[in-house]
Amino acid sequence: MNITLSIDERVAERARKAASAMGKSLNQAVRDYLEQLAGSQQLDAELEAFEQSALKSPGRLAGWKFDRDEANQRA
């Protein structure tokens, strides 16, 4: 898919130099950014699904909390 962007020429030139410093073309840098952006949304959805699954899990602690003093008691 081709996308047309409208940006200031100075911004484009600075971005082109920054991409070149990374060993990339401006086109590749934009493509990489968009792939990262799309992936972060997928990660957010996966984390939300994991959280919902964990909350529904029967392995709950039923209010139990870690107690440092209890854990350090000697028999």
pLDDT tens string, the chain, 75 residues long: the values are 888 989 999 999 999 999 999 999 999 999 999 988 888 778 888 889 999 888 887 776 777 787 888 888 876
Neighbours of 19 (CB within 10 A): 17
Tokens of residue 63, six digits: 């209010």
Q: What is the pLDDT of residue 44?
A: 83
Q: Which of 27, 35, 24 is nearest to 4 (CA)?
A: 27
The structure's pTM equals 0.53
What are the domain boundaries of the chain? 18-55
Question: What sign has the CA pseudo-torsion 32, 33, 34, 38?
Answer: positive
- Cα–Cα distance, 24 to 14 (Å, whole number): 13
Q: What is the pLDDT of residue 62?
A: 73
